[in-house]
Amino acid sequence: MKRITLVCIIVLVLAPSYCMAQNDDSYGSDSVILEVDGHACMGDERSRKETRLAAITETKRKAAEMALTHIQSQTTVKNYTVSSDIVDAYAQASVTIIEELESGWFKDDFAGECYRTRLKVEVIPDKAVKKDTLMDEPDAPLTVKLWTNRKEYRINDKIKIYLRGNKPFYARIVYEDASGNLIQLIPNPYRSDHYFNGGVTYEIPSGTDRFDLQVRPPLGAEKILLYTSTADLGKLDLQQSGAIYVVRNSSEDLETKTRGVAILQKGDTPGSSVAEFSRAAVTVKTTE
């Protein structure tokens, strides 16, 4: 087991201890994650390679339109300017492919050889909206704030993490040390419930958590990462270590697999499934 540095995660049962720390307020960067179908046909001009690329391009275009439609239908913020800013941000959104879920060729009687694909994508607005105006707006896109009880910590200080969202959400909290070791704090072996209500401020650790976050040498800068979504988050490769989990995935896999949210279609748009997503991070600073 790699040694985790900075603020020690003191487990309140028989288990190894780890180290960690934290810093200033952070609002999450929001996006929409969708599963979308699309296709394109060869016709008389396209090659198979060009057809596949056309199908993916068309599917991404559909995803951007569907995300905008979802945001427009879900956003009923009282402040018209803020509501307009949210919609405008998604009108020029970028689309990133998370995973190609299904793909294959099929024969169309009129268009000939066609390529069909189903993609899981993330639609990211092109500009940020003032998040503090959305924290009391449950009909705005998912907005989550992450912060700690202090900005700097000394040896033996205990760190408290706080989070609050404008609507109900699923959450994952991961601590990343300077060496790249990843520790999942929420959910953990004693707190499997990671569904949080909107409009409520939550403190971590608390309740059934069996660890404290206490500063120990070596000191420096670390990160606390918060991932939230209106759908359950993707699964990670975890190893239990007392009252917390060690994340065996790389940092890159952590980002990708967490975005593999378990989207369930609720009839927003035929052929699509949608989940709102947010990622926040704060940097921890510890001193002697």
Express each pLDDT in 178-212 by its tens digit: 677 899 999 999 999 999 999 999 999 999 999 99
Report how far residue 208's alpha carbon sits from residue 191's, in angstroms, rounded to the nearest whole number: 6
Least confident among 95-104, 150-159, 191-200: 150-159
Q: How many CA atoms lie within 13 A of 83 on its CB side?
A: 12
Domain boundaries, the chain: 7-28+143-287, 31-124
* 110: confidence class by pLDDT, cuts 50, 70, 90: confident
Which pTM was predicted? Answer: 0.86
Alpha helix (H) residue ranges in the chain? 48-74, 80-91, 251-258
Q: What is the dihedral of CA 181, 186, 187, 190, to 10 degrees?
A: 100
| 202 class by beta-carbon count within 10 Å (0-12 exposed, 13-18 middle, 19+ buried) | middle
Given a contact cutoff of 8 angstroms between Cβ atoms, the answer to whether 17 and 11 are in contact is yes
Instruction: Find out whether 183 and 175 touch, Cβ atoms under 8 Å.
Output: yes
- The predicted pLDDT at position 178 comes to 67
Please state the φ and ψ torsions of residue 91, each to the nearest 5 degrees.
Answer: -65, -25
Which residues are CB-contacts of 242 (< 8 A; sequence separation ≥ 6)? 11, 13, 14, 15, 16, 189, 210, 211
Residue range 17-73, pLDDT digits in tens? 333 333 445 888 899 999 999 999 998 888 999 999 999 999 999 999 999 999 888
Please say whether the dihedral angle defined by the alpha carbons of residues 21, 165, 210 and 240, taken in this order, is positive or negative.
negative
